[in-house]
C-alpha cells in the first residue's frame, strides 16, 4: 500500500499524489512515497558515493576530520529537515533535494568548478547545478529502461537552484520557472537556504580546526562574537574544541530558529492555497529576518576574506586548477587517453555535436572524479615514472 502523507502536510506543501511526475513513466512504489523513492535513488547513486572524496574547502588528503561534499550534504539535509518539519511541508522531498544538490560538483570544490568552467568557456561553460541535473537525468547508469535516476519533477526542480535564461530554454519543464520568473516549491527554498547556513557555519568550524583563523579572529564576525560571549558567561573555563563546537551549534540554532519564525510569518501573510500559488509569488517565502540576513552576509564576507583567501587555501586552489586544466587539455587533444567507456561517449557526442560534444564528454569525466582520482590521473598522464 502506498504511504499517504497528505493529511500531515500543509496545503501549500508538495504533496506526493500531486507530483508533476517523472520523465519516464513508472508504476507507483508499493511501500514508499514518490519522494522517498527519489531520496533512496540518490543515496544509492554512484555520484553520491563519490562525494565522500570531494572537497568542501580542504582537499580530502589534508585531513580526515574536515568536511567533504558528502558530510556537507548530510548536514544540509539535517538542517533542512528540521525546518521543513517545523513549517509542515514535505520533509522527505526537502531531504532528497539536499542530498542531490552537490552531485555535480567537480573535484577540488569551487576551485575545480572555476577551472572547468574556464576550460568549457567556448563549449557552453560548466556549472555544478546544471551538472547535478545532468547526472540525475542522463549520466547515472543503473536502470534498464532509462538513463539517469528518473527523479520526480519536484526533486529536479529543487536541484536546479539557479540558471541562465539561455540554459533554461534548453531544459524543458524544470527551466520554465526561470523564464516565467516563478519561485520553486517551499521545499526547494528551504534546501537552498539550509545549504548556505550549513556551509557558512561549518566552513568557519573547519577554518578554526585547520588553524587558518583563531577564535579572536572569528570574533570579528558579529554572530560568532555574540555567541562566544553567551558561551563564556555560562561556561567561563571552556576551551578548545568544546568551546568552538558549543559556539557553532548555537550559531546554527539561532539562524534556524530565525528562519522558521520569519518564514512562518511570511507564509501566513501570503496565504498560498497550494504549491502552484507558492510558485506564482514574486519572491521566496523562505527567508531570514533583515537583522539575521545582515549577520549572515557579514559572516560570508569574513569567510571570503579570512578563510577562502588564506594562502594555504589559495595554494591548494592553484594546484587544483592546474590539475583540472591539464587533464582537460590533454583529454580534448587526445580523447583516447581516457578509459574506453568515456572514449566511446566522446566519439558519440563528437559525432552529434562536434567539438562541443567532445568537450562535454571530457567535462563529464573530469567532473565525476574524486580529488584523489584526479590527482592520480594527472600523475598517470604527466609523470613519466607513474604507471598508467
- If you count DSSP H runs as helices and E runs as strands, how many of each does the chain have, helices first? 19, 0
Query: Is residue 294 assigned to a domain?
Result: yes
Report whether 193 contacts 288 (CB < 8 A). Answer: yes
Q: Mark which of 250, 283, 311 sits at the end of a domain.
A: 311
Give the residue from 311, 332, 355 where a domain finishes: 311
User: Do 366 and 242 belong to one domain?
Assistant: no
**Same domain, yes or no: 270 and 347:** no
Cβ contact 117:130 at 8 Å: no
Per-residue pLDDT tens digits for 82-138? 999 999 999 999 999 999 999 999 999 889 999 999 999 999 999 999 999 999 999
378 Cβ contact partners less than 8 Å away, ≥ 6 residues apart: 323, 326, 327
Identify whether residues 291 and 341 lie together within a single domain: no
Dump pLDDT digits (tens) for 299-354.
Answer: 999 999 999 999 988 888 899 999 999 999 999 999 999 999 999 999 999 999 99
The reply to whether 283 and 333 lie within a common domain is no
186 and 316 belong to one structural domain: no
388 lies in a domain? no
CA 100 to chain centre: 7
Give the number of domains in the chain.
Answer: 2
From 272, 288, 311, the end of a domain falls on 311
Residue 1 is assigned to a structural domain of this protein: no
Residues 342 and 303 in one domain: no
C-alpha cell at 161: 537552484
Same domain, 10 and 95: yes
97 and 176 both lie in a single domain: yes
Q: Which residue, chain included where needed, has cell 572537497?
A: 55
Domain that holds residue 362: 312-382
Per-position pLDDT tens, the chain of length 388: 455 454 589 999 999 999 999 999 999 988 999 999 999 999 999 999 999 988 766 544 554 456 788 999 999 999 999 999 999 999 999 999 999 999 999 999 889 999 999 999 999 999 999 999 999 999 999 999 999 999 999 999 999 988 888 999 989 999 999 999 999 999 999 999 999 999 999 999 989 988 899 999 999 999 999 999 999 999 999 999 999 999 999 999 999 999 999 999 999 999 999 999 999 999 999 999 999 999 999 999 999 999 999 998 888 889 999 999 999 999 999 999 999 999 999 999 999 999 999 999 999 999 999 999 999 999 999 987 777 6
Rounded to whole angstroms, how far apart are CA atoms 13 and 277?
Answer: 10
Amino acid at each position: 500500500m502506498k504511504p499517504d502523507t497528505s493529511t500531515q502536510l500543509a496545503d501549500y506543501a508538495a504533496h506526493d499524489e500531486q507530483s508533476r511526475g517523472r520523465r519516464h513513466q513508472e508504476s507507483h512504489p508499493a511501500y514508499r512515497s514518490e519522494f522517498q523513492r527519489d531520496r533512496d535513488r540518490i543515496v544509492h547513486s554512484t555520484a553520491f558515493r563519490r562525494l565522500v572524496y570531494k572537497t568542501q574547502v580542504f582537499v580530502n588528503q589534508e585531513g580526515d576530520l574536515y568536511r567533504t561534499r558528502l558530510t556537507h550534504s548530510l548536514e544540509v539535509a539535517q538542517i533542512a529537515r528540521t525546518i521543513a518539519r517545523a513549517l509542515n511541508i514535505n520533509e522527505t522531498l526537502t531531504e532528497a533535494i539536499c542530498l542531490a544538490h552537490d552531485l555535480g560538483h567537480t573535484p577540488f570544490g569551487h576551485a575545480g568548478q572555476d577551472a572547468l568552467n574556464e576550460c568549457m568557456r567556448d563549449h557552453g561553460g560548466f556549472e555544478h547545478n546544471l551538472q547535478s541535473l545532468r547526472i540525475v537525468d542522463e549520466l547515472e547508469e543503473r536502470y534498464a529502461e532509462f538513463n539517469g535516476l528518473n527523479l520526480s519533477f519536484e526533486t529536479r526542480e529543487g536541484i536546479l537552484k539557479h540558471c541562465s535564461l539561455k540554459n533554461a530554454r534548453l531544459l524543458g519543464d524544470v527551466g520554465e520557472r526561470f523564464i516565467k520568473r516563478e519561485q520553486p516549491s517551499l521545499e526547494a527554498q528551504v534546501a537552498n537556504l539550509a545549504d548556505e547556513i550549513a556551509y557558512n557555519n561549518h566552513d568557519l568550524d573547519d577554518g578554526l580546526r585547520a588553524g587558518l583563523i583563531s577564535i579572536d579572529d572569528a570574533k570579528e564576525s558579529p554572530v560568532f562574537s555574540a555567541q562566544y560571549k553567551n558561551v563564556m558567561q555560562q561556561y567561563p573555563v571552556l576551551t578548545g574544541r568544546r568551546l568552538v563546537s558549543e559556539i557553532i551549534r548555537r550559531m546554527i540554532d539561532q539562524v534556524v530558529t530565525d528562519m522558521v519564525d520569519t518564514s512562518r510569518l511570511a507564509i501566513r501573510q501570503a496565504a498560498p492555497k497550494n504549491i502552484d500559488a507558492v510558485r506564482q509569488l514574486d519572491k521566496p517565502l523562505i527567508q531570514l529576518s533583515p537583522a539575521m540576513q545582515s549577520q549572515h552576509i557579514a559572516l560570508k564576507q569574513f569567510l571570503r576574506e579570512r578563510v577562502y583567501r588564506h594562502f594555504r587555501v589559495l595554494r591548494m586552489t592553484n594546484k587544483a586548477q592546474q590539475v583540472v586544466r591539464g587533464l582537460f587539455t590533454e583529454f580534448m587533444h587526445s580523447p583516447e587517453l581516457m578509459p574506453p567507456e568515456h572514449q566511446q561517449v566522446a566519439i558519440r557526442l563528437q559525432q552529434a555535436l562536434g567539438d562541443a560534444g567532445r568537450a562535454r564528454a571530457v567535462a563529464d569525466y573530469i567532473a565525476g572524479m574524486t580529488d584523489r582520482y584526479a590527482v592520480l590521473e594527472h600523475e598517470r598522464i604527466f609523470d613519466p615514472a607513474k604507471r598508467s
